[in-house]
Amino acid sequence: MTNEQVETIWDQILNNIKNNVGSSIFNIWFSHFQPKNFNQGILKVEVPSKFVKDWLDKKFSQIIIRSIREIVPDVKGVELIVSSKEAEESAKSVKKISFSKKIDILTSQKKLSLFDVNPQTNLNPRYRFDNFVVGQSNELAFAACQSVANFCGRSHNPLFIYGPVGVGKTHLLQASGNETLKVAKNLKVKYLTTEEFTNEFINSLRNHTVNDFREKFREVDLLILDDVQFLSGKNTSQEELFHTFNYLYNQSKQIIFSSDRPPKLISDIEERLRSRFEGGLVIDIQPPDYETRVAILKLKAQEKNVFLDDEIYDLIAKRITNNIRELEGALSNIIFNFHQMNQKITIEKVEELLKKFSKEYYRKINPKKIIKAVSEHYEIKEDDILKKNRTKHLTRARQCVIYFLREITQLSYTSIGEMLKKDHTTIIYSYEKIVEELKKNPELNQDIETIKSKLIES
């Protein structure tokens, strides 16, 4: 086969690789995958950098050769070569966008995440399977969610996914709902957090509309409930969910749950409900491995129309290891800072910015500094934080103080309660309230990031 013939069928080869690795991985690692030379059965393929070459050799060498041989059987081997300096520079010549334009992109993405949520399903369309980066830490959960989406009510029912904060549980859950509606548009899907479920139930009790509440959740074909660990201690809500579960399950309707811990470790929950959680498929998601972290960073930068040197992705991925949300936050922070200063992003400057995301960096921050920073941001007196005033403005400020005391100082709920003269349950509720709202409230996200910056600078 000649070089010209290989080029003619190259799109077919690329499609075959895409089918074998998935679209998200393909878009990140194979976007500049080009045939260079075919001689004596060896196909030389050009890639944009040594970083990409090493990664593909390590992770995808067998898939690449198999995918190519399925189209061109007489290929004996594949050799990846790094492109010339000119080709590498041309890959960097991404269309330049002015600082103000890029800021528009960043802010518009936040607006989309808020206003594009479907009011009937509560699903956000930006959560999809094709922009979820799959790695060893999450591939089983990903496969299970795909199966549920394609065989709603007939596969893994219930599906229970657990893992620490920021590993992609919410993305997978919502992607399952969105994909289900693509497969079967006539199905009724409902996604909500456990806090939302509990609040709606409490309101129905208060307003004597419990029957309406039950009808709303028992007519769905797929119920997705996020963060069920927050049912702990809420006995009446647990009972209502138990009966809702039984009704849906007996009707062969699908249920998906998520939690930050396995069912057996959720405290203060009825055993009969725990047994329902454990009655289907229980899968955990671990923090992403190095390769997955790099892939996530590349995808997120791509979504922002930003190109960074591979060494920068490497540095960020090695410094932030446990939390995808922190990983994305670090990337956004770096991009924003450099566009604001209109400077070139260098490895040395990124190193300096990444210090703000290390635990050691926050050790100098004490409770007094947190109360001061939050009070200044919300323009209230520090003493007001400790008072019993329940105005909306003060309540939000108090909740933010509790959030930062928990996240930064790692104080126990009991210690925070003693400091702020609040009972233990109020502290837990306040912390969980902020954690939940951060998932869907861009304005609160901005407040938290602004206060965090002040704390770092102080």
Give the Cβ contact number of residue 120 at 10 Å. 9
Q: Which pLDDT belongs to residue 190?
A: 95
Q: Which pLDDT belongs to residue 101?
A: 38
- Write the single-letter amino acid at 308: L
Please confirm whether the linkage preceding 263 is cis (ω < 30° from 0): no
Q: Which pLDDT belongs to residue 226?
A: 92
Q: Which pLDDT belongs to residue 358?
A: 61
Q: In angstroms, what CA-CA distances link 57 with 29, 47, 52, 327?
A: 12, 11, 8, 25
Q: Which pLDDT belongs to residue 3?
A: 67
- Structure-token pair, residue 239: 């009972």
Domains annotated on the chain, with CATH: 3-92 (3.30.300.180), 127-284 (3.40.50.300), 361-457 (1.10.1750.10)
Q: Which pLDDT belongs to residue 86?
A: 40
Distance CA 337, CA 67 (A): 41
What is the CA 67 to chain-centroid distance, rounded? 30
Q: In angstroms, what CA-CA distances link 223 with 128, 151, 370?
A: 17, 14, 39
Distance CA 449, CA 68 (A): 47
Q: Which pLDDT belongs to residue 399?
A: 93
- Structure-token pair, residue 49: 């950098």
Q: Which pLDDT belongs to residue 85?
A: 52
The residue behind tokens 């479920």 is 197
CB contact at 8 A, 336 and 106 = yes
Distance CA 114, CA 143 (A): 28
Q: Which pLDDT belongs to residue 97?
A: 31
pTM above 0.95, yes or no: no
Ranges under pLDDT 50 in the chain: 86-115
Q: Which pLDDT belongs to residue 103?
A: 38
Q: Which pLDDT belongs to residue 115?
A: 41
Closest CA to 320 of 283, 294, 347: 294
Q: Which residues pair with 281 in a beta bridge?
A: 159
Distance CA 296, CA 283 (A): 21
